[in-house]
Structures are given as structure tokens and as C-alpha cells.
Chain A
Amino acid sequence: MKAVITVVGKDVVGIIAAVSNELVKYNVNIVDISQSVFDDIFAMVMMVDISGCTIPFTSFVDELNSLGESRGLKIHTMHEDIFNSMHKI
């Protein structure tokens, strides 16, 4: 089972490290990453494998949300099915 994590916010040192640390903590594997910075705005889209996640997915979403809030970032964590169903026939 996969999920998509998007992170948007002002670019500072250590965003990828902070997010990846959180993933390691819950045994979530990164499958793909795309990242760029436009005019100081950091934007990252990650595809992660959540089949080995050690906590329920909804709690994992909450954890990432609070990480985002504590660092002034907007983090969305959504099940991949939503994108598959909306953008693929």
C-alpha cells in the first residue's frame, strides 16, 4: 500500500531530514521523491510504501501534520488510491 506525501513551505535547512526521520521512526519506506525550490518556497512530493508502517495510517497522518505545524510547513499525506482514481482510467 502506498501513500503520497506533499510538503510545501518556506525553505529552511533540514526539511527533508525532518520528514525522512519521521518516516524512519514508523518504518515507512520512500519509493520516489521529487523536490524543488521556487523563490524560497520549498516543494516536495514523495511516494512512500506504508505496508510496514508500525502505527495505524490515520495516526501516521496526524504525526506528519503536527510535524508540519511545528515547522511552519504544509504537509499532506494521502492514500495513493485517490490520485489513481482521479487521474487514471
Chain B
Amino acid sequence: MINTKDILETIKMIEEEHLDIRTITMGISLTDCAADSIDMLCTRVYDKITRMAERLVRVGEDIEHEYGIPIINKRISVTPISIIASSCRALDFSPIAKAMDRAAEVVGVNFIGGYSALVHKGYTNADRNLIESIPEALSATGRVCSSVNVATTKAGINMDAVAQMGRIIKTCAYLTKDNSSIACAKLVVFANVPEDNPFMAGAFHGVGEPECVINVGVSGPGVVRSAIERAGECDMSALAETIKKTAFKITRMGQLVAGEASRRLGVPFGIVDLSLAPTPAIGDSVAHILEAMGLECTGGHGTTAALAMLNDAVKKGGVMASSHVGGLSGAFIPVSEDAGMISAVEKGVLRLDKLEAMTAVCSVGLDMIAIPGSTTAEVISAIIADEISIGVVNNKTTACRLIPAYGCEAGDRVEFGGLLGTAPVMKIEQSSPEIFINRGGRIPAPIQSLRN
């Protein structure tokens, strides 16, 4: 018999502490959809996605119902489109994004990721065409997400791509200027991108992945915060132990749901992503965990250390709870999606420099940060270059999802709605890195020994 205390604990986690499965993401390989003509390619992409994911949403809802656990998002990731579109003669790939968007709408998922290119060492012609088409693709669709990997620890940093992404982000912001520059919220620039990440906007189905796979992202910042509050006055060793135990329970639930979804859909289970993903809801904030650990306000001195401990303890607790762990696995710090982060920025305590330092010890990067609309493409590229360097040198994933909100100044607020939340526009250093960024070329791969 399961004891009553455990039963009530689980129900409390779900009811009061926002415990949920953040996403069930179906990865679908589109490599067999390649075609000469873009129309044919679009038809094949649409047909394959709608066929493979036909039952995804229904199965997700059934599991949610039977187990009594909210499953917030059902999503799809596909093979990076630049790979499958390289067979096609067209120069503009945006019709493929539109086909993906229609397919996502028909199967009922809220996001589909994979309008992506991997250019860490250089561009293929298709990569070039795809990246050029990102602004059109993201402004003409509502569900498609795009990512570009510009660096890896083994290949170094493609600075031509970094420079180009600054311009692409500016264009995305301009094309959706009447809608809070929302296209930028669906575009991520990565270093060391994982191929099995279930979280948007950076999800895609890597080339080493099987035909179709189920990946699950768990969440639960509220549960971790409550556990820390209950632990009361204790030292760091005891606190780490508390976080580990909580992460274990959260992840076990993710593993159960992943296994069940995989069985019912007849699709292999890939990974559970052990992430603490906040939402704008009160009580679902990573910043509030750091504050429960004893900081007056997130962003103050001590934040990096607290986050490093939290991130490590979540992984240690989660690893044993799941048979396969992957994706991004860590604490997310998206500013607009976290009530505690928003308030720390508005108090002037949390600034971009501190956020950058925090990304050195957690997943995943400068995420959902609104900056003034007048910021130049070169400054955006330079912010990307800084963030990407942290990932490359430290052999970890880092990323940038920056929103140069058109017409907005530092101190304004940008509303994205839903899970994307509200972003305070952050003040950033505007001195010009133009000559540095326009040099182009590649920053060589860093040395992996003599590590200081």
C-alpha cells in the first residue's frame, strides 16, 4: 500500500506547486521527404508530419487525464530543414515553414521546431538559403520555431554566421514590429546544440536520431522552491540533498509519462530532459528558488553560486530517476517567462552581465531577453559572440534568444502573451563592436587541456 502522506504530497505538488510535464515532443525524421521541387517537398513534409503525429495530442490528453498530471505542451521537432531542402532547386525555403505550420495546426500542436541549420564550421548553399528565409518564415507563421547552431567546442565559432544572425534577428524584429517583434522569440542561436532537446524554440530532430522518437521535458520550479522552504535553516549539503530528492520525484513522473506515451504511440522513447522550466505563473519561477535559498534578490552577488548548486543538484537527482537523460537538462533562466526574473530586472538588480555569468553554470543561455529596438545588428552579434564563447570554451550548450523590440527603449515592457510572458526591455552597452564583428571568418576551436 502506498502511504497516505506520499499520496497527499503528490497531489499538493500538482495542485499547489505547479508540478507538470512541460512538454511531450515527438521527433520526426524528414530525410525521406527530399525532392527537386519545393512543392513536392512541402507536400511530403506536410503528409509525413500529419501522418506520424496524428495521435500525439490525443494520447497526451489521455495520459494527462488518467494519471491526473497536467501535460502543458505537445510539440513536434523535425530534421533541420536545411538538410532536407538541399535537394531542392528553389532559393526561398519559406514555403516549407508554411507547410510545417499547417501540419502543426492540423495535428493540434502549439509549436513545431526544426526550421534550422547547423553552420558551426561553414555554410552549405542550402544553409545560406534557409537562414536568409528565416525572417519571412517566422513572420508568416505562428507555430514554426527556428534555430541556428553557429559554434561547437570541436569546430570553433563561425563568425560569419554570428554576424549574419545579428542582421537576421533585426529583420525578424522589424517584420513583426506590430506584434511585439515576436518572430525573435521563435529563433535561437546556439553553440553545441543538443540533437534531442524537447524544449522550444530550440528543438530539432538531429541526424543521429531514429525515424521517430518521444522526448519529454519535465518541470517543477514551484516544487523545488517549496521543498527548500520546508527544509528551513540548514547548511548547503542538506539543501543540495533536498533538491536532489525533489528532482528525483519530478523526473520519475517524467519517465513514467515518457514510457507510457512511447508505448501508446508505438514510438521509441528517447530521453527525459531534466530541466527546471519556469512559466510566468506566480509560484513557477527559478528566480524564486534562488531567493528561497537565501538571496535577497536574484541578480545580486551570490546568484551564480546558488544557481550552480541548484543546477547540479537537479541533474544528480534526476539522472537516477530516468533511464535516458538528454536534451538541455538544467535550470532555464528565460527572463520574460519567469515572474521572479522580471521583477529582479525591474528592480535594477538583475542585469545582462549577471545573466551572462549565470549562463556559464546552467542551461541554457541568454533567453527571452528584450533589448532596445535601436540596438545595431553588430551589437546583437557581439552579445551572441560573447554568449557562444562561454559555451564553446566550457564544453556546454549555450544559446541566445534576444528580442530587439521594435520602437522600444530600455525600461519599456513588451508583452508576448501566453507562456512567452512579458519582457522588461533591458539596458545594454551600445559601444560599437562593428570592426570586430565584420572581420568574419572562424574563431578556432579552443584547446581542451591546460584548462585555466
Contact = CB atoms under 8 A, between A and B. Distances in A.
A52 B39 CA distance: 52
Nearest to B69: A82
Interface in A32-52: 32, 34, 45, 47
Nearest to A4: B7
Interface of A is mostly: mixed
B154 to A, nearest CB: 38
B4 A82 contact: no
Interface string B219-259: 00000000000000000000000000000010011011000
Contacts of A45: 4, 7-8
A87 interface: yes
B8 A86 contact: no
Interface string A46-89: 01000000000110010000000000000011111111111110
A87 B249 contact: yes
A78 B68 contact: yes
B2 A47 contact: yes
B-side binding surface: helix, strand, loop or mixed? helix
B319 to A, nearest CB: 14
Contact of A79 (B3, B66, B252): B66
Contact of A58 (B3, B6, B66, B252): B66
Interface string A24-35: 000000001010
A34 B2 contact: no
Given A83-B2, A87-B2, A61 B256 contact: no
A85 B62 CA distance: 19
B11 interface: yes
A80 B66 contact: no
A4 B2 contact: yes
A85 B4 contact: no
Given A6-B7, A32-B1, A82 B249 contact: no
A82 B255 CA distance: 10
Given A45-B8, A85-B253, 5 more contacts: A4-B7, A61-B66, A79-B68, A81-B256, A82-B68
Interface of A: 4, 6, 32, 34, 45, 47, 57-58, 61, 76-88
8 contacts: A58-B65, A78-B69, A81-B67, A82-B10, A82-B256, A83-B7, A87-B2, A88-B2
Interface of B: 1-4, 6-11, 62, 65-69, 249, 252-253, 255-256
